[in-house]
Each structure stands twice: as structure tokens, then as C-alpha cells.
Structure 1
Amino acid sequence: MLTFDFLNARYGDSFLVRWGASAKHVMLVDGGPSGVYEASLQSRLSQLPRNIRGIPQIDVVCLSHLDDDHAVGLLALLREMRRARQDGLPAPFAVTRLWFNSVEELVDRHSPGLSASVRPLLDRAARTDAAVGANYAKGWAIRDEAAALGLSGNHPFDGALAEGSERTLDGLRVTVVAPDTSALKELEQQWREAERKANPDVIAAAYKDDKVPNLSSIVLLLRHDGRTALLTGDARGDHILAGLRSGGLLTATAPLHLDLLKLPHHGSNRNVAPDFFDSLHSDHYVVSADGIKYHHPNEDTLQWLVESRSPDDEYVVHLTNHIPHAVDKLTKLRHGHRFKVDVRASTDPVLVIGVGDQP
């Protein structure tokens, strides 16, 4: 059985994946924006099963990408762990491994040394542009904390997580779907353009419109005991489909069936098109958003989702918060359809979704 605990990450992402006997194995994916760690994530982690030293155990912490609404809470977690170690205090949590891609690693994957040649331009862009500077500083901060805690290296992938990489952890089969080859090529092209023009503004422009973090977003396909889940970060839908096709996981003859699909980029209509939902059918669709800071999920996205399914199909659309425009749209779309809508109650700290039966 796979169980998912989606926290109220406001306009961001933060959730737990639990599997195995008594759901004792845990993966934390993203940490939400500022305040989420203190408001809910820290408390939820403290309730996890404890190891033989009596410390809550986290098998994997995965940061999909460096956007604030995914990364800030994880940085708070790592810093708390490091402070406890420096002060000689008991560790608040035991983390076995951390998965995180630096953009530099991905750029160098196909063009060794390219990131080093562009580094002076990136340094200049970081000094003069707030958006670049924030992402740049965050990336180095996470690498520093990981190194101090002995969590560098993306074990057991032992390198950047990219399309085609696969490992099994305690019965959980983890396949990396993205960054896919086309996304890596786009990143490389942006860096090469900056190098050719010797212009830090090229780097700054790519960060400002989210190209860099979104292209580098980690997408994972999880499989356990016959159940599947696709965790999409903020990746583009076309890159997700390309990665699935490249791995032979998606064919032209039929949609891929999933037990759970987390919608990319909080349901934005900029990341997906109708063919995304035509290609991926799920029993559970999850939108992590609050609809306040951004208009997520977009009504077009919800329309494409429902139109991709037969009126007789039974599935659930989950919202991590009550979002009036989304609830109104789904209510209208439900006419003549059999899907359900599930909204986290404001009194519940998490939205829990279980897929599959206990063995």
C-alpha cells in the first residue's frame, strides 16, 4: 500500500509518501514556502515511526527543485538538524538520504565543464538580479547543509537524478522520469547562449520566467505492490510525457494508468495541455495549491482533466485547500460525470490518500 500525506503547503508543495508494513518507510517530497515547516511540517515529521535511537526516521528527503514554494521548508529542516549537531543536542530527525539536483550538475551531464565556464556570468547575475541571487544562494545553502550532515551525493543514484535512472528502496521502485533529455538540452542551450553572448542577462531572464528551475524539476514514478504514483514537481507536461515514452512506460496505444497523479505546477495551465491528461489516467488526482497568491489550479486545467475521462469513469480530484474558483468549476464539470471531489478540511492538518490494500 502507498499512503500520501499532503500538508497545507499553501501555494507550494510538501507531502509524505509512506509504504511498507505499517507504512514505516517514509519519503518527504518538498517542504513548502516560508512558514510551512514551522506551522505543520515539523509537527507531522515528529509523529513518524522512530528508529532504534528513538528518533523519527525519514528514509528519503527529495527536493524537486529550488523554487521557494518547494525548497524553503526543506532548508529549515536541514538547518534545524545541523544546529542540533553543532550544539551537541539529540537529532530532531534521522534522514538517511537526500535527493536534490543542482542546475550545474545537470548542465554538465552532457557538456562537462560548461557550468564552470558560465559560472562568472552566473555570479554577476546573482549579484545584480534578486531572483537569480535568491535561487543561487538557496542552492548553495542546501548543498552546504547536505554536506555538513553527510547527505551529499544523491545516494543510491550517486549523481544527478535524470531520465532513466532507477533504484529500489525497501520494495519501493523509483524511476526518474524527468529532467528528460529534451529538458537537459534546453538547459544546455540556455547556458551556451549565455556563454556565447558573455551576457549575464541571458541567465537572469531564464530564472525570471522559471525556465531554469522548472526544466530541472525532478519527476518520480513510484511503484510498490502493484500501485503507482507520478510525482511531477513543477515540470512541463510535454517533458513528463517524453520521459515516460523514452522509458517505455507510455505507448501510443493506450493511456498510462496511475493510482495517483500530482498535477504539475499546482494545476497551472502553462505546464500542461489536453494531451497530458489524455495520456495519463489516474484514480486520484491531487492539486496542491490555495488559489490565493496564484490562480492555481486554472479552470482550463480542470476542464482538460475531466474531458480526458469517460463520464462513467470513477476517480477523485483532491484539493489540499478549499479554493472557491476550483470548487465551482469542478461542481459544474460533475454534471453527468461520476468523479468525486475531496477537499482537505480546514481543521485537518493533512490530506491523507491511501491507494491499495494492506498486504
Structure 2
Amino acid sequence: MSLYRVHLLPAQQGDCILIEYGRPERPHRVLIDGGLAGTWTHLKGLIEALPIEQRRFDLLVVTHIDQDHIEGALSLFKSPPEGLSFDDVWFNGFKHLEESDLEDFGPLHGERLTTHLWTAPAWNQLFGRRAVVVPDTGPLPTRELPGGMRLTLLSPTRARLRKLRGVWAKRCEEAGLNPQVQPPPPAPEGLEPMGGIDVAALLAGGFKEDDAEANGSSIAFIAEHDGRSVLFGADAHPSVLRASIARLDGGRAKVDAFKLPHHGSRKNVSTELLALVDTPRYLFSTNGSRHHHPDREAVARVLARKQPAELWFNYRGPHTEPWDSDELRAEWRYTTRYPTTAAGGITLDLS
């Protein structure tokens, strides 16, 4: 069987995910997000460890403009390792919000990335250089990558991109910038600790969906290769994911792993969403340092499905370690996977 490997890199409270697939001796690669600025040191080392002839990636996906997803990608364009290139970059800039008619200055980071991408050979190339977006009706968009990787887009919708447009414009105005819809002219030369866990009590609380515009614009998709698949949820809104999954054959997503949206936030992991995803593995990308993710309520909703589950954490810390409990594992029928080093990061091998 060919390679299918998912690396949840140590991206602090953010996402930086490397997918490798195909022939083990010469795999294809997809990079999803770049984490915070500090993630770049780790990511750069990983890329520089590759032979120069293998530093051509099939795709870079910058899911949305929040700092914990985009900052490391900005560093990547500012000082790329020798030989690094991407056949396509998926990122919805302001011009894509316009045609589809934040968190911590996310739109300003979006403008910085847009400046780099104007000169890129491929920007949303597989979508005709237009928005990466799920249409309101008809089949979900699918795209094929070299080596046989098939991506099925689940998020964002046109409505979610439209909501982000006003926020983006307002933040740019406050910073004295004009959102870029045309290429710029050429530059002149020259923790709080968790207490005991009561899963039943956590399940008794209500659910309120995330309403952040940037999160709602997230690019989320299912990546399938050689009979194996992973749902990468970015920070997408659960109602958007549910609506797209309902459009799949059978109205369900049967995948080998689910990278939960928004780092396991209680506002992005709903019981209704989980009920539509058949999977044995749930992936969490966060060290919990800022927003204390994953939320206990989100993990409890996973366990409430009462099916054997593997919880994969890319950090061991105050908000993940309490689930390393023999008592809880016995009662709720799950297993845990943690990094083997204090630096964080974990790899799921579906080969």
C-alpha cells in the first residue's frame, strides 16, 4: 500500500499540517497552514531536511487569516528555503471575498500574504484563480492532485466569505490600508490547569455555534488517497460542515481520521456534526496556551458517541493530559496518543 501520513506539527495554539502520500521513496506533499511565527523554525528545518529536488509541494492551503494559521506561512514566503515551490496555493484574499458576492488583525496578515501571492505562479489555480468556495447548490467541488490525492471541499460557503468582507475592509481602514483587489505596483529597486473531568456533566451543557467571520471563511476539505481519507476541519463552522457532508453520497463522511475544527473548541464541535462523521480517530492541533483548547465539552461530545475512539494530541499539557486517565478510558472506551517529545508534534501513519 502507498504512503498516507499526516504530521500535526508543533504549531502552538494553531495549525501546521504536512500530508505526505504516494511512493514512500518519493512522496507527494501538501502543506496546510503555517501556525504562528514561531512555528516557522520547525517547519523550515523540516523542509531543509528534504533533498532540494523534493521541495516542490503539490499544494499549500492557507485556510483563513487568523494569526495561528497564517503567520508561519508569511515567514515561508519571506525567506523560503532553497528550491521550495508550490504547484498551487489555496487562499481567499479580499478580491475573492468581493467576487463571492479578526482575530488579532488577521485581515492585515491576509493583506501581507496577498502581496506575496500576486507574483506567485499559481494562486487558487485549481479554482480558475477565483474563490475557493462551496457553491450553494449542485455537487461539492472536487480537485485531483498529482499522485492520486482527491480533495472534496466542505467549507467555506459564499455567505461566509461575504460576512468576512466587511470585517476585512474595516480592519484595513483602521490600519490605513486599502484592501488589494489588483496587483500592487512593483517595489522600487534598492493555563489554567483542568480539574477533575465529569463527562456526563459536560454533556449537559448547551451548544452555541462559533460566529467569528474569519473562522467561517475557513477552507475545509476531505483528502482521499488510495482508499484512505482524512477530514481536515480548519476552524470551520459546524453548520457549514454539516450542510456540506449532507451533500455527500449517503449524507455522511466515512473517514479514517477527523482533524477537529478550531482545535477542539466547544463552539465548533457539535454533537450533530460528530453524528455525521464515521471515524475511529480524532486529531487535535493545539497546546492550549491561549484559548485553552481543546475544550472539555468538545472532547466529551466525541466520547458520547460511545464508539471506540482514538484521541490524537500534538501536545501534552494541562488541557490534554487529564484525558490520559485509565478510569476515563475504561468508562468511555477510548485510547490516547501523545507526542514522544516535550517539543510537541505527532504523526499519524495510515499506510
State TM-score, norm by structure 1.
0.77
- CA displacement, residues 189-213 of structure 1 (integer Å, 9 cap, x when unaligned): 6768x9xxxx959x99xxxx97221
Runs of 4+ in 1 over 3 A off after TM superposition: 186-192, 347-350
Query: Is 1:178 aligned to 2:155, yes or no?
Result: yes
Give the whole-Å Cα distance in 1 for the aligned partners of 2:319 and 2:163: 38
- CA displacement, residues 260-281 of structure 1 (integer Å, 9 cap, x when unaligned): 1101000000112211212212
Structure 1's 290 and 347: CA in aligned 2 closer, same or farther, altered over 3 A?
A: closer
1:307 aligns to what? 304
CA-CA distance at 1:25 after TM superposition: 0.2
More helix by share: 1
CA-CA distance at 1:175 after TM superposition: 1.0
Structure 1's 349 and 323: CA in aligned 2 closer, same or farther, altered over 3 A?
A: closer
Query: Is 1:162 aligned to 2:150, yes or no?
Result: no
- Secondary structure of the corresponding residue to residue 300 of structure 2: helix
Q: Would the aligned equivalents of 1:30 and 1:70 in 2 still touch at CA under 8 Å?
A: yes
- Secondary structure of the corresponding residue to residue 297 of structure 1: coil
Give the whole-Å Cα distance in 2 for the aligned partners of 1:277 and 1:317: 14
1:138 aligns to what? 109
Letter in 2 for 1:351: I
Q: Which runs of 5+ in 2 are unaligned?
A: 135-139, 175-209
CA-CA distance at 1:151 after TM superposition: 3.0
- CA displacement, residues 99-155 of structure 1 (integer Å, 9 cap, x when unaligned): 11124413422x3xxxxxxxxxxxxxxxxxxx5893332222112212223233x12
2:338 paired residue among 324, 337, 343:
343
RMSD: 2.6
Task: Within 5 Å, give how 1:289-308 maps onto structure 2.
Answer: 289-308=286-305
Task: Within 5 Å, give how 1:92-107 maps onto structure 2.
Answer: 92-107=83-98
Q: Which runs of 5+ in 1 are unaligned?
A: 85-90, 112-130
Structure 1's 262 and 190: CA in aligned 2 closer, same or farther, altered over 3 A?
A: closer
2:59 aligns to what? 60
Structure 1's 44 and 190: CA in aligned 2 closer, same or farther, altered over 3 A?
A: closer
Letter in 2 for 1:41: L
Structure 1's 238 and 132: CA in aligned 2 closer, same or farther, altered over 3 A?
A: closer
- Secondary structure of the corresponding residue to residue 160 of structure 1: coil
Give the whole-Å Cα distance in 2 for the aligned partners of 1:265 and 1:190: 17
CA-CA distance at 1:285 after TM superposition: 0.9
CA-CA distance at 1:69 after TM superposition: 0.1
2:195 aligns to what? none
Q: Would the aligned equivalents of 1:156 and 1:167 in 2 still touch at CA under 8 Å?
A: yes
Task: Within 5 Å, give how 1:144-293 maps onto structure 2.
Answer: 144-152=115-123, 154-158=124-128, 159-163=130-134, 164-170=140-146, 171-180=148-157, 184-188=158-162, 211-246=212-247, 248-249=248-249, 251=251, 255-293=252-290
Structure 1's 175 and 100: CA in aligned 2 closer, same or farther, altered over 3 A?
A: same
State TM-score, norm by structure 2.
0.79
Letter in 1 for 2:162: E
Letter in 2 for 1:30: D
- CA displacement, residues 29-70 of structure 1 (integer Å, 9 cap, x when unaligned): 0000121102x111111223542xxx6222211101010000
CA-CA distance at 1:236 after TM superposition: 1.0
1:127 aligns to what? none
The alignment of Structure 1 onto Structure 2 pairs a total of residues equal to: 303
Q: Would the aligned equivalents of 1:238 and 1:272 in 2 still touch at CA under 8 Å?
A: no
Percentage of matched positions with identical amino acids:
24
CA-CA distance at 1:249 after TM superposition: 4.0
- Secondary structure of the corresponding residue to residue 324 of structure 1: coil
Structure 1's 259 and 103: CA in aligned 2 closer, same or farther, altered over 3 A?
A: farther
- Secondary structure of the corresponding residue to residue 336 of structure 1: helix
CA-CA distance at 1:347 after TM superposition: 4.7
1:121 aligns to what? none
CA-CA distance at 1:161 after TM superposition: 1.2
